Amino acid sequence: MRCDKCKERVVYHRRYSGQRFCGEHFLQYFENKVRKTIQKHKMIERGEKIGVALSGGKDSITTLSILNELAKKNLEICTIAVDEGIKGYRNDTLKSAKSFCAERDIPLHIVSFEDRFGTTLDKIMKQGKNACTYCGVLRRRLLSEKARELGLDKLATGHNLDDEVQAILMNYIRGDVERLIRLKRSLPHEKFIPRIKPLSEMPEKEVALYALLRDFKVSFAECPYSLGTFRASIRDFINELEKNNAGIKFSILKGYQKLLPYLELKAAMHECEICGEPTSQKICKTCLLVKALET
């Protein structure tokens, strides 16, 4: 097969649209699509200070690379990496993050579970706790605190299309309407730093191909605690649907976007009675989980 634009050898066939790309034209397509996503959702304004939540994996490195190019147009970029304390996994991804930032002179700030909470995810798992629950909540807390400390206007994450549709289905199946809405619409609070997701309309395999073609030295390893989780089951289910129904991931996202205007967040944000962080409950999830570790 040949590229639709230049007749060079195809490296990627976009099944749901029928487009065929050589390496050069795929890179152009990918970067243009991400920029259009940023513009469409008004994610960034000139002069803002943007932080990137950097794991060292393909998604966050790709997000950082594209935003760093945009930074030449009156943006300030820095990164925040969270060390959860996962032996044999996080050390490797942090090496990738450090190397990428050092080569491009991008400030990197590392925060850790150990320093902030006095424990690691490995130790939490030895207590028989749910890894994904603790990891997600504690990571978000560390990112929020550091983003505020750095005076960021926005915090960018590397969530791709697959991540988004998995979260949509997970929350729908669980009947968690509030969390379903908050995927795109957060409750306002002066302490909350808005999140943006530049890759939210890019399939995971396209992000992986982009990282390979750009020769990013990133880790493609999965978190060892993600195996056998509810999210993994939903991921496999969606991928099976996509195999036989090209474009189903986009259909799920578009259906959610059409539904969102009809959904209303009734909860109000206030400050946690223990730590003072924004929450819709009397006591935030972080404090509840940390307290559970002490029992």
Q: What is the pLDDT along the chain (295 residues), one digit of tens a residue?
A: 899 999 899 999 999 899 999 999 999 999 999 999 999 999 999 999 999 999 999 999 999 999 999 877 789 999 999 999 999 899 889 999 999 999 999 999 999 999 999 999 999 999 988 899 999 999 999 999 999 999 999 999 999 999 999 999 999 999 988 889 888 877 678 888 999 999 999 999 999 999 999 999 998 888 999 888 999 999 999 999 999 999 999 999 999 999 988 887 777 788 999 999 999 889 999 999 999 998 7
To the question of pTM greater than 0.75 for the whole model, the response is yes
Q: What is the pLDDT of residues 214-227, one digit of tens each?
A: 999 998 888 999 88
What pLDDT does 294 receive?
84
- The ranges assigned to domains in the chain are 1-30, 41-263
Give me the pLDDT at residue 23, please.
97
What is the DSSP annotation of the chain?
Answer: -B-TTT-PBPSEEETTTTEEE-HHHHHHHHHHHHHHHHHHTT---TT-EEEEE--SBHHHHHHHHHHHHHTTTT-EEEEEEEE---TTTHHHHHHHHHHHHHHHT--EEEEEHHHHHS--HHHHHHTT--HHHHHHHHHHHHHHHHHHHTT-SEEE----HHHHHHHHHHHHHHT-HHHHHTTT-PPP-TTPPPEE-TTTTS-HHHHHHHHHHTT---B-PPPTTSTT-HHHHHHHHHHHHHHHSTTHHHHHHHHHHHHGGG-------EE-TTT--EESSSS-HHHHHHHHHT-
Angle at 108 between CA 68 and CA 286, to 5 degrees: 110
Cβ contact 49:79 at 8 Å: no
Instruction: Quickly list DSSP for 4-42.
Output: TTT-PBPSEEETTTTEEE-HHHHHHHHHHHHHHHHHHTT
| CA dihedral for 255, 236, 1, 22, sign (positive or negative) | positive
Q: Which CATH architecture has domain 41-263?
A: 3-Layer(aba) Sandwich (3.40)
As given in the structure block, the two tokens for residue 104 are 């491009």
